[in-house]
Amino acid sequence: MFLKGAAMCVIGLCAGGMVAAGTFAFIVMIGIFTRMADRTHTSAYIGIYENAVVLGGIIGNILFIYNIRLPLYEIGLIIFGSFSGIFVGSLAIALAEVLKVFPILVSRIKLVEGLPILVLSVAAGKAIGSLIQFIFGWA
Using one digit for the tens of pLDDT, what is the confidence trace for 105-116? 778 888 878 878
For the cut 70, the answer to whether the pLDDT of residue 139 exceeds it is no
Report, as an integer, the average pLDDT of 29-49: 82
Using one digit for the tens of pLDDT, what is the confidence trace for 48-96? 887 887 888 888 888 888 899 888 888 988 898 888 888 888 777 777 7
Instruction: Please state the pTM of the whole predicted model.
Output: 0.55
Do residues 85 and 44 touch, judged by C-beta distance below 8 A? no
Share of the chain above pLDDT 90, in %: 1
Q: In angstroms, rounded to a whole number, what is the distance separating the alpha carbons of residues 63 and 78?
A: 18
Q: In angstroms, rounded to a whole number, what is the distance separating the alpha carbons of residues 99 and 61?
A: 29
Domain boundaries, the chain: 2-71
Q: Supply the DSSP symbol for 52.
A: H
